[in-house]
Structure 1
Amino acid sequence: MREFGLIGQTLGHSFSQTYFNQKFHSLGIEDCRYELFELPSVDHFPALLTGRPGLAGLNVTIPYKEQVWPYLDAVAPSAARVGAVNVVEFAADGRRIGHNTDYIGFRESVSGFYTARGEGAGALVLGTGGASKAVEVALRELGIRYWLVSRNPLARGLTYDELTPAIVDAHPLIVNCTPLGTAPNVHECPPIPYQLLTPEHYLFDLIYNPSETLFMEKGRAAGAQTRNGFEMLCIQAEAAWAIWNG
């Protein structure tokens, strides 16, 4: 039995197990299964590896996309570029290799959703964690300039309080890379000035559970286009499956 799974701290919101097990069922793959592994801290990762000798591949989600790095033997160029890992390959030679397919998923999904509104139109990337790093790489590949936005006045980029009407107008694409709004905390959302949004804005939320977050709901109320992270999830999952199968 080949075993795959997802490591993270809180995984009740995750659709990965359902996605992969449905994939195995639809393809008639009987020797694979996918499990969820909630770890209270990344220090428990070695014990998981010892207790699950049949592991053939792992996905990684918050808050371990950066913390898992020291437990790997190597990182692929994708993870090195992003600075975060969301896929662990168990190579035939025994090495554990970190990859990043998040940026592939976001790049492909946002390309079918947003077309830059003229030269110079930019994006606001909400959050500065591992997910935002993948979004940064994708935006650079697409030639879309961006600002990072966070609560921390000492972080690189802007704070939410610095989002003026001029800045919001010049950045029609707004990407939520924070966990705010993820089930069960569906009444939370990033504190952007939603009253400044227009039908010219595009709100992309990496969250896919719920299917419409409060961030998206407020954007839709202002006439903005919205998209959740489900398509991104599917694209990155297929990229992970390709890595695990050589």
Structure 2
Amino acid sequence: MTGTATAEGRRAAVLGSPIAHSLSPVLHRAAYRELGLAHWSYDRFEVDEAGLPGFLAGLDASWAGLSLTMPLKRAVFPLLDAVTETAASVEAVNTVVLGADGRRTGDNTDIPGMVAALRERGVEKAESAAVLGAGATASSAVAALSRICTGPVTAYVRGEARAAEMRGWGERLGVDIRTAPWSEAAAAFDAPLVIATTPAGTTDALAASVPDRPGTLFDVLYEPWPTPLASAWSGAGGRVVSGLDLLVHQAVLQVELMTGRAPAPLDVMRAAGEKALR
């Protein structure tokens, strides 16, 4: 199933289901070329929760690491030898580093990737923030905000169960989380930093509510791009951080973890991602 690389080769891949849309191969391969890692390869494999144990069992010593997307970020936990504090904090692993001895270490580069993407756009700190949505990405957003937000964070969600879940993440991560119903989501735009973590189309109706002087919007989507909300936000003069920014920054960290080479070529990887999206 997984095959074997040449004697000098090292392998990595992204796993998930569905996986055909993933830009990870484009980003990682661009990094390998720039770093002169001619014998490294990076592929994608359609793997669901049921197939993950067998896939991992079939890996040989040529494998250096794996990127994980849904639905594997939590399913992988019982299959790991160690988990970093960052990954454990949100119960989500998006990176598996495979040691020479076969040891599997789970990490999460989404959280520091979010912080790095914001920092690149000039956002070092926020006095308060708002999060749109309550899924897995929202928990990573709360973890990222625990590092940069000095005040309260309001999460706009559908249903009390989601609200309770977000308050729970706040307690766990040391963030003052308040919750509000999705019907009041336009009020989020009063915050200096808004992180939209919802699926494509969910925030489209909110584009008409963007204020005249918006702060910073971090929209985690990258396709289609720009979203109607991102377009309205930038049109009003607000700062926008895109899902591609996040994807590239978390991939940079993955490349560094898997290859041991740093810094990974951020600009080259972003250019490759932009070209692929065009």
Question: Which residue of 2 is the match for residue 232 of structure 1?
Answer: 246
2:24 to 13, 16, 24: 16
Equivalent position of 1:245 in the other structure: 259
Q: Which runs of 5+ in 1 are unaligned?
A: 182-187
Select which of 43, 47, 52 maps to 1:45: 52
Report matched runs for 1:128-167 at 5 Å: 128-144=134-150, 145-156=152-163, 157-163=179-185, 165=187, 167=188
1:3–1:57 Cα contact (<8 Å) kept = yes
**Structure 1 residue 121: Cα displacement:** 4.4
**Aligned partners of 1:84, 1:227: CA distance in 2, in Å?**
23
SS where residue 163 of structure 1 aligns?
helix
Match of 1:19, SS?
helix
CA 1:51/1:214 → structure 2, altered by over 3 Å: closer, same or farther?
Answer: farther
- C-alpha separation in 2, matches of 1:240 and 1:31: 18
SS of residue in 2 equivalent to 1:155 = helix
Which residue matches 2:208? 195
Per-residue CA distance 1:31-82 (angstroms, 9 max, x = gap): 211111122x211112222344243201111232222222222201121223
Contact 1:107/1:135, CA 8 A, preserved across alignment: no
TM-score, length basis structure 1: 0.83
Residues 137 and 158 of structure 1: CA distance in aligned 2, closer, same or farther (over 3 Å): same
Cα distance in 1 for partners of 2:154, 2:221 equals 20
CA distance in 2, matches of 1:13, 1:209: 10
- Count of residues in Structure 1 that have an aligned counterpart in Structure 2: 234
Q: Render the CA deviation track for 1:166-217: whole Å, top value 9, x for unaligned.
A: x542x23221222x22xxxxxx233663333222232211222334123312
1:143/1:124 CA distance change after superposition, 3 Å: closer
Structure 2: gaps (5+ residues): 1-8, 164-178, 261-278
Residue type of the alignment partner of 2:28: F
Q: TM-score, normalised by structure 2?
A: 0.74
Percent of matched pairs sharing the same residue:
29
CA contact (8 A) 2:217 2:241 kept: yes
